Amino acid sequence: MHTVLNHPLLEHRLSLMRDIATPPKLFRELVNEITVFLAYEALGDIKMREIAIETPVAKTVGRRVDEPRIILVPILRAGMGMLDAMLHVLPYAKVGVLGMQRDETTAEPIPYYAKVPPAKNGEELAIVIDPMLATGGSASDAVAQLKKLGYKRIKFLNIISAPEGIAKFEKDHPDVGVFTAAKDERLNSHYYIVPGLGDAGDRIFGTL
């Protein structure tokens, strides 16, 4: 399932992100703000439990998150730009990381680092974060690694997707929900998303 968010405030931020003149500081802030939008949408079905509470006025029943183990998994390096916002929303979450480098000739992912705690009972919720879903190779490989570690509940959050990446990811992992802020036109001959926003990692870390 692929969910594309639709909101004027989100579109406003996306237009600023795409602008080549947007400096790294503002770009990072926009990544954080858009990530909160994505988290809000993606976590609508999170497990809850009822608890008794007492307000200054009366006793009542409230609801709190009842997810004993949530793992945030940024794909290095660009995914780190979304991590602070996710930890703001889910401060009790654990963090694992997956490092992947794209082969610039074939666009295939090359894994080079993995530090993710294995699932204990299959009830854990793993949330993969990466700003761009271009060819779909890195995202698909990341989810495949998580499944090998025993994760059964997985979501993938990204900011901009290409149709080619969506098609590959849904073919490889039809059981994983994908949440994106924008679905763009296509990939170019260099496997960059069009119109896109360039290289998200370079723009987050100012390494253009």
Q: Active-site residues: which are they?
A: 102, 106, 199, 202
Contact 43, 89 (CB under 8 A): yes
The 3 state secondary structure assigned to 187-205 is ECCCCCEECCCCCHHHHHH
Cβ within 8 Å of residue 124, ≥6 positions away: 68, 69, 70, 71, 151, 153
Contact 5, 179 (CB under 8 A): yes
Q: How far is CA 29 from the centre of its chain?
A: 16
The pair phi, psi for residue 86, each rounded to 5°, is: -65, -40
